[in-house]
Amino acid sequence: MDKSKFLFSIIVPVYNTEKYVKKCLESIEQAIDNDCEVIIVNDGSTDHSEEIIIDFINRLPENMKCNFIYTKKENKGLADTKNVGIEMARGKYISVVDSDDYISNDFYMLARKYINDYDIIVYDLYVIFEKNKSWNYTSRACRDDKNKYLAALLNGAMSGSSCNKIIKKELYKNYKFPVGKQYEDTAVTPFILTDANKIKYIPYPLYYYLQREKSIVASNTLMSAFYKICNNISDVLRKKNNDLDNYKEVINEFFIERILDIFNQDLSQNRKQFLINIKEFAQNNKEIINYIVNNNITKDNENHYSSREKEIVNDIFVLLSKEQYKNVKEILNKRKFVNYLKNIKSSFIKFIKSIVNR
Indicate the residue type of 224.
Answer: S
Task: Name the band, by pLDDT with cuts 50, 70 and 90, for residue 350.
Answer: very low
Burial of 99 (0-12, 13-18, 19+ CB in 10 A): buried
Three-state helix/strand/coil letters over 130-189:
CCCHHHCEEECCCCCCCCCHHHHHHCCCCCCCCCCEEEEHHHHHHCCCCCCCCCHHHHCH
Q: How far apart are CA 175 and CA 87, in angstroms?
A: 12
Distance separating alpha carbons of residues 358 and 354, to the nearest angstrom? 6
CB 129 within 8 A of CB 211: yes
Percent of the chain beyond pLDDT 90?
67
C-alpha closest to that of 79 among 188, 210, 202, 234? 188
User: Is 355's pLDDT higher than 80?
Assistant: no
DSSP string, 237-292: HGGGTT-GGGGHHHHIIIIIHHHHHHHHHHHHH-TTTHHHHHHHHHHHTHHHHHHH
Residue 83: exposure state from Cβ atoms within 10 A (0-12, 13-18, ≥19): buried
Using CA atoms, how far apart are residues 106 and 287, in angstroms rounded to an integer?
A: 44
- DSSP strand pairing (36-42 vs 102-103): unpaired
Domain(s) of CATH 3.90.550.10: residues in the chain: 8-211
Specify which residues 102 forms β-bridges with.
Answer: 208
Q: What residue type is assigned to position 180 of the chain? A: G
> What's the residue count for the chain?
358
CA–CA dist 326, 279 (Å, integer): 10
CATH homologous superfamily of domain 8-211?
Spore Coat Polysaccharide Biosynthesis Protein SpsA; Chain A (3.90.550.10)
The 3-state DSSP class for residue 209 equals strand
- 220 band by pLDDT with thresholds 50, 70 and 90: very low
Helix (H) or strand (E) holding 69: strand 68-72
Angle between helices 274-284 and 222-237 (to 10 degrees): 20
CB 88 within 8 A of CB 13: no
Instruction: Write out the DSSP string of 2-26.
Output: -TT--SEEEEEEESS-TTTHHHHHH
Q: Which of 103, 232, 122 is nearest to 177 (CA)?
A: 232
Q: What is the mean pLDDT of the chain?
A: 88
Over residues 39-56, mean pLDDT: 98
| 228-287 tens-digit pLDDT | 999 999 999 998 866 899 999 999 989 999 999 999 999 999 889 999 999 999 999 999
Condensed to tens digits (0 to 9), the pLDDT of residues 292-336 reads 999 999 988 778 889 999 999 999 999 999 999 999 999 999 987
CA 65 – CA 51 distance, rounded (Å): 16
DSSP state of 117: G
